[in-house]
Structure 1
Amino acid sequence: MSFEVLKVHSFGVGGLVLPGVSPGATAQRSELMVFTGDRIRARGIDEVVVAYVRNAEVGWSAVVGYRCNGVEDLAVGDSMVIVPTAYFAHFTNGADAGDPVEDVWEQAEIAEKEGRIERAYGGDVAITRPNGETDLLIRLV
C-alpha cells in the first residue's frame, strides 16, 4: 500500500444526490450506487466522480456525477457540491488489486488503523475511470 498526500484545490461535483450513503466500498458497490453511476455514464460521461458529504443533522450523502466548474455546467435537475481546498491522502489501485473499488477503500482503512492518516470524515472523493481503475481522495484533518 502506498499513498501520497496532496493539496487539492477546490472543485465542484455535479450530479445526482443519494441521501444516507456513507463512504466505503460497500456503499460504492451497492445496487443503488451502480445504477446511479450507469445513469451518469449513459449521458456520455466516462469518469464518474462520487463526492461524500456529511451534514451534522442529516448524516451522509453522496453526489454521483462529474467534475464541474459551476452551476452553469450542471445538467437540468442535478445538484452540486464543492470539494474544499484541503489536504487529501490519494490512494490508487495496486498492481495486483482484485476489485479496484474495494482495494482503494481497504488501503484507506488500513492507513487509518495504522495511524498513518487522520481522516476528517467529510469531503472524501472517489473517481472511477472508464477502465474501472479507481482513485480515492480521503480528506485529512
Structure 2
Amino acid sequence: MSFEIVKRESTDFGGLVLPRMELGSSAHATDLLKFTRERVQLRGVEELTTVYVAVPELGWTAVIGYRCIDLDHLEIGDVLVRVPAGYFAKFTPDGRTSDPIEDVWIQAEVAEKEGRIERAYAEEVEVFRPPNNVELFISLT
C-alpha cells in the first residue's frame, strides 16, 4: 500500500456534475463517468480531476473537470466546487490491478478497513494525468 498524509490548501475545481454517484473502486468504470471524462478531455484538459462531494440524503456527487485558477478560468456551463484545506491520505498506484484508478481506490478501502486511516467522508479528489498517473486524496478526520 502506497500512501502518505498530506496537507492540502483550499482549491477550486470546475467541471460537469454527475449526481448520485457511488464511491469506491468500481465507480470510475461506469459508462456515464467514462463518457463524461471523455467529454472533458476533448476540451484539452490534461490533468483530469474528479471531486466527489458528499450530499446529505443524496449520497455522492461527482464533479469531473479541472483545477480552476480563478473564475475567468471556469468554462461556461460548468459548476465550481471548492475543496477546503485539510489533511488527506494521498494514494498512488502500487500495481494491485492493471487499472491505476481502481488500484488507488482499492488501497483506500483497505487502509480504512485496516484502521490505517479515518475517513472524514467529505470531499475526495482523484487526479488523473494520462496515460497512467493517478493520485487519490481521501479526506481525513
Q: Is 1:26 aligned to 2:42, yes or no?
A: no
Q: Give the SS at the match of 1:20.
A: strand
Cross-structure match for 2:52: 52
Q: Superposed, which structure 2 residues align to 1:1-141 within 5 Å?
A: 1-95=1-95, 97-141=97-141
Query: Quick one: distance in 2 between partners of 1:95 and 1:22?
Result: 23
Deviations 1:63-105 (A, max 9, x none): 0000012322110000010011000000001156411011100
Q: CA RMSD in A?
A: 1.2
Deviations 1:101-127 (A, max 9, x none): 111001001100110000011100111
Q: Which stretches in structure 1 are left out of the alignment for 5+ residues?
A: none
**TM-score in terms of structure 2 length:** 0.95
Contact 2:2 2:93 in 1 (8 A): no
Q: Give the SS at the match of 2:32.
A: helix
Amino acid at match of 1:45: V
Contact 2:89 2:117 in 1 (8 A): yes
Q: Percent of counterpart pairs with the same letter?
A: 49
Contact 2:9 2:85 in 1 (8 A): yes
Q: Give the SS at the match of 1:40.
A: helix
Deviates further, 129-138 or 81-90: 129-138
Contact 2:15 2:79 in 1 (8 A): yes
Query: Quick one: distance in 2 between partners of 1:59 and 1:71?
Result: 27
Deviations 1:23-52 (A, max 9, x none): 222221111111000001100111110000
Q: Give the SS at the match of 1:25.
A: coil
Q: How many aligned positions are there?
A: 141
Contact 1:5 1:89 in 2 (8 A): yes
